[in-house]
């Protein structure tokens, strides 16, 4: 299961690989064709290399979950998906139009063009939000325009489907987004607020009309991003005098810190961009100075991260279900124990049909020094574990909205599992226990630590035929 080397002229699942169109830090884009499909196609392939940030792997999983569920002119049509067991990929309709990035680099643009672009993007957002998806990474390189004029969103690696489990939020505890465009609530790790996309659109409009970013280009650090929780930008008219009041009103409303002070929906924002005469003007429209004193005071008082934001509960479709977590040992010698765990999980799922299952494995890393997270044949060990975890759960045949898979990287498996359970409000954790050798009795075990410290119900499973005198000197490397 080594990493496949794509080259022009090779074939993958019936798709003939053409020229490489693009290679970024996260993925490659290739031209592809397939007999019987007469529209232009591209294949997106993640770059999975030794030392890669696991968020890239999880982000690609999210994209594979979300994009097949989307429809309409504002997203590329999804043609096929490739499994991680062989070669992960997404084959999409190729959008023949231009990226917003080209015009973005030429900012400031004429007022009328900025308004038109904003209206098209807001219309596309309205369609996306109606399908229960928030993009959460709106930026020029992720927006294209069809030759017929419609805005099209690409790259859903950081997106949130409100009716599916949020893999990124469950596995990672850092703000997700692109620093210049990230909304205040995203800084606080809130990923279920559709108006976060309106904030990012406000940043785009501000930059397109002024040629400057409203918050600069901050480093993606917690300290830098915390300023987003209280800082108000320089009014656009202070940079460009010919900006009409209605456009400044729209932009500054999009850039409000509190989501409830922004437009309620993308559809309403699109309406006002298409009908500027209908915009109700407030003090935002005439604002011509930056309240630097207010920003300074707010920074000293609220810069600790205690922002005047509250977590929304309006979109909690997937998160309201009870969460069952199973820590799976994938070591070859623990097949019987893993089977016992699965049998118990299946029985519990029958008795709790509304519950959601999180399948977790811990890839143990060194406390000191660097690990090589790739095998000799080029296979990513993280991806291999992910595939094995999915194979373990395959016979349960749970729909995607009821099951998630997580490979955690940590030098301390027990701590990683406990942290995951705490962060995701797990209701019931199931963990396997190996034999009771002398070393294990002396040093303790992962299952013992979990039972002692977990804040949820814990069920420990032991295989009855297990050798109780197993030497545990290699303990915990695969315990979770």
Q: Which residues of 12-38 are buried (b: 16+ CB within 10 A; e: fewer)?
A: beebebeeeeeeeebbbbbbbebeeee
> Between residues 296 and 174, which one has the greater pLDDT?
174
Would you state the pLDDT for residue 302?
47
Domain that holds residue 188: 98-302
* Within a domain: 468: no
Cα 213 to Cα 432: distance, rounded to the nearest angstrom: 52
Which is more confident, 310 or 25?
Answer: 25
pLDDT, residue 291, reads 66
Residue 118: its pLDDT value, please?
A: 98
Which band of pLDDT confidence, cut at 50, 70 and 90, is reported for residue 463? Answer: confident
Q: Which of 63, 93, 123 is the last residue of a domain?
A: 93
Burial of 476: CB neighbours in 10 Å, binned 0-12, 13-18, 19+: buried
Same-domain check for residues 222 and 169: yes
Domain boundary among 51, 68, 93: 93
pLDDT at 39 over 60: yes
Q: Is residue 351's pLDDT more than 90?
A: no
Asked, for residue 234, whether it belongs to a domain, the answer is yes
Mean pLDDT, rounded, for 327-352: 91
For the residues 438-451, what does the mean pLDDT come to?
65
The residue among 382, 377, 384, 388 whose CA lies nearest residue 365 is 382
Mean pLDDT for the stretch of residues 39-53: 79
Tell me, yes or no, whether 476 lies in a domain. Answer: no
Task: Point out the least confidently predicted range of 40-44, 225-229, 312-316.
Answer: 312-316
pLDDT greater at residue 53 or residue 396 = 396
Say whether both 224 and 146 belong to one domain. yes
Together in a domain, 66 and 105 = no
- The answer to which of 123-127, 340-344, 432-436 has the lowest mean pLDDT is 432-436
Asked if the model's pLDDT at residue 263 lies above 50, the reply is: yes
352 and 263, same domain (yes or no): no
Q: What is the pLDDT of residues 133-184, one digit of tens each?
A: 999 999 999 999 999 999 999 999 999 999 888 888 888 877 888 999 999 9
pLDDT confidence band for 469 (50 / 70 / 90) = very low
Cβ-proximal residues to 400 (8 Å cutoff; 6+ apart), any chain? 65, 164, 165
Domain count of the fold of the chain? 3
Q: How far apart (Å, rounded) are the C-alpha atoms in residues 25 and 336?
A: 40
* 87 and 104, same domain (yes or no): no
| Same domain assignment for residues 335 and 421 | yes
- At residue 307, φ and ψ (nearest 5 deg) are -90, 155
- Of residues 355 and 37, more confidence is placed in 37
Q: Assign 17 a pLDDT band (cuts: 50, 70, 90).
A: very high
Kindly state the average pLDDT of the residues 105-130: 97
Beta strands 15-23 and 11-12 are antiparallel
6 falls within a domain: no
CATH number at residue 213: 1.10.510.10
Same domain? 193 vs 207: yes
Q: What 3-state class would DSSP assign to 230?
A: coil
pLDDT of residue 316: 40
* Average pLDDT estimate for 439-465: 77
pLDDT score for 266: 96
Given a cut of 60, whether residue 65 has pLDDT beyond it is yes
* 347 found inside a domain: yes
pLDDT over 90, % of the chain: 58
Name the pTM for this structure.
0.78
Peptide linkage before 310 cis (omega within 30 of 0): no
Select the more confidently predicted residue: 370 or 470. 370
Would you say residue 268 has pLDDT above 70? yes
Band (pLDDT 50/70/90 cuts) for residue 470 is: very low
Determine, yes or no, domain membership for 204.
yes
Nearest to 431 by CA among 409, 453, 410: 453
CB 75 within 8 A of CB 128: yes
Q: Quick one: 86 and 168 in the same domain?
A: no
Same domain, 84 and 180: no
Q: What is the CATH number of the domain that holds 46?
A: 3.30.200.20
Work out the mean pLDDT of the chain and round it to a whole number.
85
User: Do 83 and 115 belong to one domain?
Assistant: no
59 in Cβ contact with 176 (< 8 Å): no
Look at 104 and 353; give whichever has higher pLDDT.
104
Rank 108-117, 408-417, 433-442, 444-453 by mean pLDDT and report only the highest: 108-117
CATH of the domain at 439: 3.40.50.620
Structure tokens at 431: 């963990």
More confident residue, 210 or 50: 210
Rounded to an integer, the average pLDDT of 249-265 is: 96
pLDDT at site 313: 38
pLDDT at residue 314, rounded to an integer: 36
Same domain, 76 and 102: no
What is the Cα–Cα distance from 107 to 208, expressed in whole angstroms?
5
Q: Nearest CA to 191 among 327, 69, 366, 59?
A: 59
Where does a domain end: 93, 109, 129? 93
CB 158 within 8 A of CB 136: yes
Asked if residue 88 and residue 123 are part of one domain, the reply reads no
45-51 average pLDDT score: 70
Which of 94-108, 290-304, 418-432 is modeled with the greatest confidence?
Answer: 94-108
**Domain assignment of residue 477, yes or no:** no
Is 317 within the bounds of a domain? no
């Amino acid at each position: 299961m080594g990493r496949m080397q794509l080259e022009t002229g090779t074939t993958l699942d019936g798709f003939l690989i053409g020229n490489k169109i693009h290679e970024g830090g996260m993925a490659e884009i290739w031209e592809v064709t397939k007999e019987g499909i007469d529209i232009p196609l591209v294949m997106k392939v993640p770059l999975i290399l030794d030392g890669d940030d696991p968020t890239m792997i999880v982000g690609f999983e999210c994209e594979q979950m979300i994009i097949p569920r989307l429809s309409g002119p504002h997203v590329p049509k999804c043609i096929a998906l490739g499994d991680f067991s062989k070669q992960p990929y997404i084959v999409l309709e190729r959008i023949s139009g231009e990226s917003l990035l080209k015009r973005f680099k030429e900012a400031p643009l004429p007022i009328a063009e900025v308004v038109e672009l904003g209206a098209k993007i807001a219309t596309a957002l309205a369609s996306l939000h109606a399908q229960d998806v928030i993009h959460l990474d709106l930026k020029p390189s992720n927006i294209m325009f069809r030759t017929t004029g419609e805005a099209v969103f690409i790259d859903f690696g950081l997106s949130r489907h409100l009716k599916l489990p949020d893999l990124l939020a469950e596995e990672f505890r850092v703000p997700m987004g692109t620093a210049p465009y990230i909304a205040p609530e995203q800084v606080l790790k809130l990923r279920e607020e559709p108006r976060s996309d309106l904030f990012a659109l406000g940043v785009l409009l501000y930059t397109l009309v002024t040629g400057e970013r409203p918050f600069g280009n901050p480093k993606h650090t917690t300290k830098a991003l915390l300023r987003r929780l209280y800082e108000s930008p320089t009014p656009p008219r202070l940079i460009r005098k010919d900006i009409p009041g209605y456009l400044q009103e729209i932009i500054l409303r999009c850039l409000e810190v509190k989501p409830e002070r922004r437009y309620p929906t993308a559809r309403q924002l699109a309406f006002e961009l298409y009908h500027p005469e209908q915009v109700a003007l407030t003090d935002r429209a005439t604002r011509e100075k930056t309240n630097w004193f207010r920003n300074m005071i707010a920074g000293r008082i609220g810069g600790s991260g205690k922002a005047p934001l509250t977590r929304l509960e309006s979109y909690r479709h997937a998160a309201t279900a009870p969460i069952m977590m199973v820590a799976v040992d994938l070591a070859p010698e623990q097949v019987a124990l893993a089977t016992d765990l699965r049998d118990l999980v299946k029985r519990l799922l029958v008795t709790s049909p509304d519950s959601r299952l999180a399948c977790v494995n811990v890839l143990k890393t060194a406390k000191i020094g660097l690990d090589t997270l790739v095998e000799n044949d080029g296979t990513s060990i993280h991806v291999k574990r992910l595939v094995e975890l999915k194979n373990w759960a395959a016979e349960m045949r749970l729909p995607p909205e009821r099951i998630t898979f997580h490979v955690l990287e940590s030098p301390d498996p027990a701590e990683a599992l406990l942290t995951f359970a705490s962060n995701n409000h797990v209701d019931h954790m199931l963990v396997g226990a190996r034999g009771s050798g002398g070393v294990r009795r002396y040093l303790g075990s992962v299952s013992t630590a979990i039972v002692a410290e977990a804040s949820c119900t814990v069920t420990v499973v032991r295989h009855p035929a297990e050798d109780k005198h197993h030497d545990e000197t290699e303990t915990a490397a695969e315990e979770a």
